[in-house]
Structure 1
Amino acid sequence: MAYSGGNNNQYPPPPQGYFPPQQGYPPQQPPYGAPAPGGYGAPPQQYGQQGGYPPQQPPYGAPGQQQGYPPQQPYGAPPAGYPPQQPYGAPPAGYPPQQPYGAPAGGYPPQQPQGGAPAGYPPQQPYGAPGQQQGYLPQQQYGAPPPAPSFYQTASPPLTHAQLEADANALRKAMKGFGTDEAGLIAVLCKRTPDQAPYLSQAYKAHFGRELVKDLESECSGNLKKVMVLLAQGLPEVDAILLKEAMAGIGTDEDGLLEILVGRTNAEIAAIKNTYRVKFNKDLEAAVHSETSGHFRKLLTALLVAQRDETGGGYDTNADVEAFYKAGVGKMGTDESAFISLLCNRPATHLRQVFAAYHQKHNMTMEQVIKKEFSGDLEKALVNIVASIESHPWYVAKQFEKSMAGLGTKDHKLIRLTVRHRDPKVMGQVKQAYQQQFGKSLYSRVEGETSGDYKKALLACIGN
């Protein structure tokens, strides 16, 4: 008995026996920049090499993996002046270190570095411990295993003072006087990564006393304006803005909510929630609650609570296979809450083992199970979660194709996907997945679906 839903694929290889050979799932893609087998001295595998993807990283969330997120600048007013940044690898000269992904704005307590508390500071409590104020990023308990790495973790090198000054001057020149030099804007903004963008906006304000986002809004129009404005902001800000837009006006863009929230780490979800509160003076969970209903609302709430176990072990695979079976195919009706709880709280590495074992035992993929037992928005959401767990680059590549398939192009979705995944280290994985999945390049697909300066901006972000 199928459930009628609410109102309305890291590149992990599935364990042996999960997918029939004809399904063609590619081997696992490690986070970009991981050392090649044999240590850092080993030459990295190039994308064009036989075999497709680089060698597999340690399991998602395994103890010993490096902690950290792309260094992000807190959203808010820049510091007085703007001190020069040092070249990558050099200690900053009088400039505070870049903050981790989505660090709270000024006034929040310092973050706990990996491996121990700073001198004079007591150990931080784990996220959700008594006494921790709402809105803070989850803190890593002293001595605890590091959290799972993010697909969006890139750690781009900070821009030097000279680079920031040159970029700020180029942007101002492109917008000053009569008319706008769109090519000049594209040349600067499309080459900078999400974690570099906030520093560029601060440099622009420090040099000219003007807000970069406001100038872009006044100088550009249409889809190009949407792209340029988002490119000038960090990823937490972009995610918060896009979530707000997904819930604005009549109806809710469930596709947009899922695309942003699925496959995120606990720390990233906490950062998005904090940024949303700062920018819009509203709690994100409350906003989602008011725009959704039923089990679809429960699933989004489970994602926003951000309590997925990221340690990666300690669960019985066979027991969870049985739990999925008893909650769905093995009973009359469907236990929706059991599916939501398992998919939103178990470690991703464990769930991949469960999916493979379930397929071997019951001759059904988890996606087939969900499509049999659910319908509507809840079915779509659960399928997206499963696809993201199996391979996030594969999942994102499919979303790109959905934005261009059929009659007309879903420009808002295409912009959202391009801006959020534009870091070359992230986009490289997505492009490989797209090529393998659809037999053509993402670059050429977008090129054939768009036009004008809008097309030039998207293609500059994607890279040939």
Structure 2
Amino acid sequence: MSQPPSQAPPPSQQNAYAPPPGQPQGYPPAGQPYYPPPSQYYPPTAGYAPPGQPPYAQGSYAPQYVPSGYYQAPPTNYGAPPGPPNANYYAGPSSSYPQQPPVGYQAGYAPPPGAYAPAGYPGQPTTPGVPSMPLAPGGVAPEMSASFEPPTVLYRDTIIHNPKYSGGLAVVGYTKDQIVHDINRINKAAGDEKKLSAILVELGPLKMDVVAQEFPNHNNKNESLAQHVVRKTSGHVEKTLLGLIEGPLRYDVELVRSSIAGLGTNESLLNEAILDHTPTDIALLDYVYRQKFNKSLAHAVSSDLSGNVAKLFKFVTDPNRELLPAPNTSPEELQKLLDNDVDDLYNSGPGRIGTNEEKIYKISTHRTHEHLTNLCTRYKQKHRKPVSEMIRDEFGSSNHDAKALLFIVNGAEISHHAHLANVAPLALRDAESLEDTMKGLGTKNTLLIMRVLRAQWSRGRMEATKQAYYRIYEKSLARRVKGETSGAFEDLLLAMIGPS
């Protein structure tokens, strides 16, 4: 493992997988574990590149995919530190919350400098010698209208093709010859599940889309990549590879559908499928869900639920939900919101007769992750009880709304175990959920596949989860999975988890 960088990132660059508040500043001694967490809203941090590709020249991840005919200028600075943030790094309570992306796709939205947009797009630095798009009066590119969509977007910390973009798929630095070469490798793997799995894992979600698009043109049967996988594999390997081909967004659409199909609701699956999503994630999920099932995400979910929990999910599935605090909120206003939320949580439960469920739902679903983490910390300091315990007292632990609230809070609440207090709550929750699929008699393979798949699409998330798993259970996640699986399925999961 490479050594941590010598310069720590400022508080404004912390994210959901960064250590919780109250931890000492600076990096641990050389050789101790550290996390390379993702940014919640921007491209992966410095030094990361897709498998088989060198890191970008500037040390930052280079967006690989832009529309055909557009030039993608090399990024000059994503605002990322010179290396991955450290697991034990925390620079004290932050007065600068991560900037949220706009709700939906608003006209005039300019992505961060160097993001995925044609040269000349507002906010995109131009490159000498490279033509920029002509700007209309007011400095807005002609394509910038209510219907304009960038070719790639972020979904759950992963760069994906924007399903609303109509310009087709193209790859910078991924030539036609290279695409054909990868397709030939897939065809030559024939019935070797291990070899086929290794090829598909290394592609990543964006290249996977391009290969899947071209695959039918390179076999006599006009066979899709998914059909090829079904013909060449079986069982858990087949199910996992089909998930890889779907990619993070379409896979989540299927998770939501599976959780509400048939009689009853798979509450745990529904919670995992959407509760962590930002409003922008929900807008993307809703768009693809409507395309596939001719029904809005909100309507599909609400029609399967009843009672109080339906109110909670109505908040979650609203793409226009506003997350507070807003960007650039002053330190004074941040503190005021934090104090008010602590008081409102208490006065909605322990501080009154009966429970104001809707108020608790709204605070839990209308706050940024960083704010929720600070809220959980401050609530425990003031009321001598964790928010999770308050929820159990007020809602029990078996009702769906209780499980949903605990899922949210467990991703923000600092562990009461001293040796885990400097590990990001989201990473702890992910590690514990993976262990739940393997403990006891038998392995819950379907859940194991789902949780490994969703973590591996964001390498920062996977690395943070692996480190958290080791801290909790004193063994590597790869070693644990190896003991529970075998054959090509074991090889595939280990490839997705990556080196220990």
**TM-score normalized by structure 1?**
0.72
1:334–1:373 Cα contact (<8 Å) kept: yes
1:217–1:225 Cα contact (<8 Å) kept: yes
Unaligned runs of 5+ in 2: 1-14, 24-32, 48-76, 102-109, 118-126, 128-134, 162-170, 414-424
Q: Does 1:187 pair with 2:211?
A: no
Partner-residue secondary structure (3-state), 1:328: coil
1:70–1:153 Cα contact (<8 Å) kept: no
With 252-261 and 335-344 compared, the bigger mean Cα shift is at 252-261
Equivalent residues in 2 for 1:289-438, closer than 5 Å: 289-306=302-319, 307-309=321-323, 311-312=326-327, 313=329, 314-315=333-334, 316-375=337-396, 376-390=399-413, 391-423=425-457, 424-438=459-473
Q: With a CA cutoff of 8 Å and minimum separation of 6, indicate the structure with the bigger relative contact order.
A: 1
Shift of 1:377: 1.6
- Counterpart CA distance in 2 for 1:301 and 1:394 is 27
Q: Does 1:455 pair with 2:483?
A: no
2:17–2:461 Cα contact (<8 Å) kept: no
Cα distance 1:42–1:296, how it changes in 2: closer, same or farther (>3 A)?
Answer: closer
Shift of 1:294: 1.5
Percent of aligned pairs with the same residue? 30
Shift of 1:389: 3.6
Shift of 1:164: 2.2
Partner-residue secondary structure (3-state), 1:382: helix
> Cα deviation per residue 1:26-51 (whole Å; 9 max; x = unaligned)?
99864264359xx98975369xxxx7
AA in 2 matched with 1:10? A
Residue 164 (structure 1) aligns with: 179
> Cα deviation per residue 1:399-425 (whole Å; 9 max; x = unaligned)?
211222222211111111111221333
- Counterpart CA distance in 2 for 1:159 and 1:292 is 47
1:70–1:152 Cα contact (<8 Å) kept: no
Shift of 1:238: 0.9
Shift of 1:71: 7.3
2:323–2:367 Cα contact (<8 Å) kept: yes
- Counterpart CA distance in 2 for 1:237 and 1:389 is 26
2:160–2:205 Cα contact (<8 Å) kept: no
Shift of 1:14: 3.5
AA in 2 matched with 1:192? L
1:201–1:232 Cα contact (<8 Å) kept: yes
> Cα deviation per residue 1:240-280 (whole Å; 9 max; x = unaligned)?
11221222233321111111212222211111111112122
- Counterpart CA distance in 2 for 1:403 and 1:117 is 53
Cα distance 1:305–1:195, how it changes in 2: closer, same or farther (>3 A)?
Answer: same
| Equivalent residue for 1:174, pick from 189, 206, 229 | 189
Q: Does 1:10 pair with 2:16?
A: yes
- Counterpart CA distance in 2 for 1:68 and 1:405 is 45
1:194–1:235 Cα contact (<8 Å) kept: yes
**TM-score normalized by structure 2?**
0.67
Unaligned runs of 5+ in 1: 1-8, 18-25, 73-90, 92-112, 125-131, 139-146
1:258–1:381 Cα contact (<8 Å) kept: yes
Cα distance 1:43–1:270, how it changes in 2: closer, same or farther (>3 A)?
Answer: closer
Cα distance 1:62–1:28, how it changes in 2: closer, same or farther (>3 A)?
Answer: farther
Q: Does 1:62 pair with 2:80?
A: no
AA in 2 matched with 1:201? A
Shift of 1:194: 2.3
1:194–1:234 Cα contact (<8 Å) kept: yes
2:20–2:90 Cα contact (<8 Å) kept: no
Cα RMSD of the aligned pairs, angstroms, is 3.8
Total equivalences in the alignment: 379
With 399-408 and 378-387 compared, the bigger mean Cα shift is at 399-408
Q: Does 1:44 pair with 2:83?
A: yes
Cα distance 1:427–1:362, how it changes in 2: closer, same or farther (>3 A)?
Answer: same
Partner-residue secondary structure (3-state), 2:188: helix
Residue 157 (structure 2) aligns with: 152
1:242–1:256 Cα contact (<8 Å) kept: yes
Partner-residue secondary structure (3-state), 2:231: helix
Q: Does 1:241 pair with 2:218?
A: no
1:69–1:150 Cα contact (<8 Å) kept: no
